[in-house]
Structure 1
Amino acid sequence: MSNHTNTFPISSPWLAPVAVKPLDATMQIPGSKSLSNRYLILAALGSKPVTLEGILRSRDTELMMDALTTLGVQCIIDERDSTIVTVIPPADRKFVGNTSIYCGLAGTVMRFVPAIALYADGPVRFDGDEQAYKRPMKPVLDGLEQLGAEVIYHGVEGFLPFTLIPPSTFDGDKNISIDSSSSSQFISGLLLAASTWNGEVTITHTGEKLPSMPHIRMTMDDISKAGGQVEYSQSLWKIPTRNVQLHSHIVVEPDLSNAAPFVCAALIAGGEVRIARWPAESTQPGALLPQYLRLFGAQVEYDSSAHILSVHSDGIINGAGMLDLSPAGEIAPTLAAVAALANSDTTFTGISHLRGHETDRLKALVTEIKRFGGNAEETSDGLKISSVARNQLHGEVMETYADHRMATFAAMIGLVVPNTYVVNIETTRKTIPDFVHMWMTMLA
């Protein structure tokens, strides 16, 4: 598994290839990171082994398996297929404490693994990459404190690093109130913690907005698949006592958000890109991609018998006008690349929470769009991207800020802007381990 290095090995800036002809490619996308890490957590919370097939093997999932192993969970990788992992929880859900967990820059690790550490037999220290020290943690930790845990911060309050001291008992009805406005992962982490609590847990979101509700619904759906129960109504969740246990064999869907750069490439370069194994229904936010792509002028078709999504374009991109991305903020950087190359303006709303991701994505996108000659500005809750003629755009060395989605953003611009170089393309390993090879295959 991972070696807990703080950063990826950085090579010289990567020259993003230009598309010299319309695209014609069928892509196989690795498994969903969001589903992989949720299934790993739920499998660990059960009492019987669970085999996950098609799991994403990337830095984030490696960090998750390392964290679970540290807590006494066995993650056995199939010798013939590394995307098949069998998870064996510890006997009687007795997780190992008096240990340390390294989160890297993975939000699902730093915000979901405390749900298991809550049930450890001793304190658990959490640390991560330097960039992770800027990612907010306090709402989920406040919620765990309301379940009886104690949190000791070793730096700035509300951020990594910290130590979680589990409560002395894990039962009784509990009421939790937090403001999850800056990340849906806070609610998801507490839902996972509550899914196996001995008593009814009520979670109330006190903020005015809640980003990426589809990610929360994904967590609710996954808990339901494990035999748990979540009742939801108007920013309030009730989780009664249940013993969660996933089925013995789970197949992980492809990551639809990671498919976004490839299907958007068809919009930018023209031609057609097809995504295999696209599910007919999904709780992933990336499932909203087809409706977004049509707004930019793409032709989108879905073959339900073959489970193939096809995106076709003549290379002419329309601006999308005003577009609310609050249900799927994680694909905002990808759609920003499309908008920056469109023939009219686009304003994205509902994504102010992106300021607290791997980097401040709104600031980073404005900086990088302006770097190659585009025009963008931040708004209070999003971005306004104004149309600029393509002949005014020019190649530059694009920064990625240790953010995988900024790296794929730059690669997309490079499809039609020659001499676009990408710093630290290796950061794509966070969610797409073989991005460069897949990108070159698509162009070939």
Structure 2
Amino acid sequence: MGRMSETKHDSLWAAPTPDGPIDATITIPGSKSLSNRYLILAALGSKPVTLVGLLRSRDTELMMGALEALGVTCAVDPDNDTTVTVTPPTSGRFRGNVDVFCGLAGTVMRFVPGLALFADDAVRFDGDEQAYARPMKPVLDGLEQLGATIEYHGEEGFLPFTVTPPKTLPDSPAKVSIDSSGSSQFISGLLLVGSRLPAGLELTHTGERTPSLPHIRMTVADVNGAGGHATADEAHHLWSVEHGELQLPERVVVEPDLSNAAPFLGAALIAGGRVRVPHWPVETTQPGGLLPGYLEAMGARITFPEENGVRYCAVESDGSIHGLGDFDLTAAGEIAPSLAAILVFADKPTNMIGIGHLRGHETNRLAALVTEITRIGGQAAELPDGIAITPVPADRLHGAVMETYADHRMATFAAMVGLKVSGVDVVDVETTRKTLPDFVGMWNRLLG
């Protein structure tokens, strides 16, 4: 290995640069998207559910903390902290007159307010200061249409706010119309609780485009896996959920987070070599399941070997990377930063489109990517619905202190750039704890 990883001081991490091709097998923790959906669905049931392989990260800790504030018990197995048993309140009602802290977790701030419909009193929501910039209004408008009262304690449509449940819920099919163009989580947050409404839910998305549709499909599949009956008419932006009791199976195994595999599998293209990730599912509702196809289009060789009953995703590359021209990433915008890091070193330009909603994530990811690519001597520009990356020769790129904006995917983006550009120092790499509690250790293992 060339430049070794080390912490320069409290806030800077020196991204390691390997001397040659890499060869590694990296095990990825459980899916954040599935973990937090299962936690919500387990809380909405009536019997305990044991979640196996649950991601333990800041986002899932915030979700468990939110549920416990509402009277749910989340008991961690003392012998395995990724096994958690969730027990709903015995009364069937969630505890009100409580405070829920969302941190910067979109799934917490957009999924948990729906539970407040079934609380016995008002529930107050707050989060990190940076979370005050993340849009919330569509899901809260939906709750108001269901009879809840929303009181904003700052700017309308953003944290902090209080949700007061209605005295009675609608006894005819609840019809809700929202514009979810800014995030698929607004739709998912309402679909997760639709079964609890006395006559179910009919949800219409009024926007022209539905971002990250696979995440909504994941929610529909998970609701149905818990015994619910959710259906989708995607062509007309309509979803419906019938009234019924939800109950996950007694034991649920969480898939690895396929989006979190992107920095590691993508490293094979940037540095050259081979990277394998075990426990890759044959079928999945995760948007990260599209990753192998994207990497193959960039020139990687993708295989799915099986060893001792374990299926791997293996990515091999000689380090040559093909640009993709116009590249529609609507279905999997969350992996855009990782793909952008690869495309910085491609042989021709790429316009990553369909990801305008990334302006409302942990940070404005489009602006952040342009700023950080430019910072190292690269060339990029924002598009109305995405980002244009024009590669420059690698010898014209240079090291720099790269910002992460309290955004875990910007931190992994910077680490990926550091594979080929020496002298990259990353601000606050520990923001990766949001979904990868031991990212630095995993990254060092990747590079041997």
Amino acid at match of 1:252: V
The runs of at least 4 aligned residues of structure 1 exceeding 4 Å deviation read none
Name the counterpart of 1:6: none
**CA shift for structure 1 position 364:** 0.3
* Runs of 5+ consecutive residues of structure 1 not aligned to the other structure: 1-9
Letter in 2 for 1:289: L
Residue 42 of structure 2 corresponds to residue 43 of structure 1: yes
Equivalent residue in structure 1 for 2:254, among 228, 252, 255: 252
Whole-angstrom distance in 2 between the partners of 1:171 and 1:254: 38
1:232 matched to 2:236? The reply is: no
Report if aligned partners of 1:277, 1:308 keep a CA contact under 8 Å in 2: yes
**1:104 Cα offset (Å):** 0.2
Q: In structure 1, how many angstroms separate the alpha carbons of the residues matched to 2:174 and 2:197?
A: 9
Q: Distance in 2 between matches of 1:392 and 1:77?
A: 50
SS at match of 2:290: helix
Is the contact between residue 50 and residue 86 of structure 1 (CA under 8 Å) also seen in structure 2? yes
Q: 2:290 aligns with which of 288, 291, 297?
A: 288
2:6 matched residue in structure 1: none
Aligned to 2:382: 378
Query: d(CA) in 2 for partners of 1:262 and 1:200?
Result: 42
| Aligned equivalents of 2:196, 2:38: Cα separation in 1 | 14
Paired residue for 2:273? Answer: 271
- Which consecutive unaligned segments of at least 5 residues does structure 2 have? 1-8
Counterpart CA distance in 2 for 1:171 and 1:363 is 42
1:317-356 to 2 correspondence within 5 Å?
317-356=321-360
Q: TM-score, normalised by structure 1?
A: 0.97
Is the 2:115–2:193 contact (alpha carbons within 8 Å) kept by the matching residues of 1? yes
Q: Residue 305 of structure 2 contacts residue 311 of structure 2 at CA under 8 Å; is this kept in 1?
A: yes
The superposition leaves residues 115-147 of structure 1 with CA deviations (integer Å, 9 ceiling, x where unpaired) of: 111110000000000110000000000001111
Moved more, 35-44 or 11-20: 11-20
Q: Is the 1:343–1:389 Cα contact (8 Å) retained in structure 2? A: no
* Distance (whole Å) between structure 1 residues aligned to residue 238 and residue 391 of structure 2: 41
Q: Residue 23 of structure 1 contacts residue 270 of structure 1 at CA under 8 Å; is this kept in 2?
A: yes
SS in 2 for 1:323: strand
Question: How far, CA to CA, are the matches of 1:317 and 1:195 in structure 2?
Answer: 46
AA paired with 2:42? A
What's 2:110 paired with?
Answer: 111
**Range 193-202 or range 386-395, more displaced:** 193-202
Asked if structure 1 preserves the Cα contact closer than 8 Å seen for 2:401 and 2:427, the reply is yes
Alignment of 1:42-441 (within 5 A): 42-172=41-171, 173-233=173-233, 234-303=236-305, 306-441=310-445
1:170 Cα deviation from its structure 2 partner = 2.9
For residues 286-344 of structure 1, give each alpha carbon's deviation from its aligned partner in whole angstroms, at most 9, with x where no partner exists. 00001100111111111255310000000111111111000000000000000111121
C-alpha distance after superposition, 1:240-274 (max 9, x if no partner):
11100000000000000000000000000000000
For residue 404 of structure 2, what is the amino acid of its counterpart? T
In 2, Cα distance between the equivalents of 1:441 and 1:416? 17
Alpha-carbon deviations, 1:151-193, whole Å to 9, x = none? 0000000000000000112341210000000000000000012
1:32·1:55 contact (CA, 8 Å) conserved in 2? yes
Whole-Å Cα distance in 2 between the matches of residues 422 and 181 of structure 1? Answer: 32
Q: Which amino acid letter does the alignment assign opposite residue 199 of structure 1?
A: A
Shift of 1:199: 0.6
Is the CA contact (8 Å cut-off) linking 2:274 and 2:316 kept in structure 1? yes
d(CA) in 2 for partners of 1:36 and 1:272? 29
Residues in 2 aligned to 1:426 and 1:195: alpha-carbon distance in whole angstroms? 38
Answer whether contact 1:15 1:420 (CA < 8 A) is retained: yes
* 3-state SS of 1:160 partner: coil
For the Cα contact (< 8 Å) 1:362–1:383, is it kept in 2? yes
Q: Determine helix, strand or coil for the equivalent of 1:65.
A: helix
Letter matched to residue 147 of structure 2 = G
How far apart, in 2, do the equivalents of 1:105 and 1:258 lie? Answer: 18
Structure 1: distance between partners of 2:277 and 2:400: 30
Structure 1 SS opposite 2:65: helix
AA matched with 1:366: V
1:422 is displaced (CA, Å) by: 0.2
Instruction: Assess if the C-alpha contact under 8 Å between 2:11 and 2:429 holds in 1.
Output: no
Cα offset, 1:424, TM superposition: 0.3
Letter of the structure 1 residue corresponding to residue 114 of structure 2: A
Would you say the 8 A contact 1:46–1:89 is kept in 2? yes
Q: Which amino acid aligns with 1:359?
A: T
Give the RMSD, CA atoms, in angstroms: 0.9
Tell whether the 8 Å contact from 2:146 to 2:170 is kept in structure 1 after alignment: no
Deviation at 1:197, TM superposition (A): 1.3
Distance 1:249 1:88 in 2: 12
1:5 match: none
Question: How much does 1:198 deviate?
Answer: 1.4
Question: Is residue 398–residue 421 contact of structure 1 (8 Å, CA) maintained in 2?
Answer: yes
Q: What SS does structure 1 have at the residue aligned with 2:192?
A: helix
Q: In structure 1, what is the Cα distance between the partners aligned to 2:303 and 2:10?
A: 39
Counterpart-to-counterpart distance in 2, 1:267 and 1:93: 51
Range 378-387 or range 297-306, more displaced: 297-306
Aligned AA (1:433): P
Query: Does the 8 Å CA contact 1:47/1:92 hold for their aligned counterparts?
Result: no
Contact 1:124 1:165 in 2 (8 A): yes
Match of 1:12 in 2: 11
Distance 1:437 1:282 in 2: 27
SS of the residue corresponding to residue 433 of structure 1 reads coil
Contact 1:119 1:170 in 2 (8 A): no
Greater alpha carbon shift after TM alignment, 130-139 vs 340-349: 340-349
Q: What amino acid does structure 1 have at the position aligned with 2:385? A: D
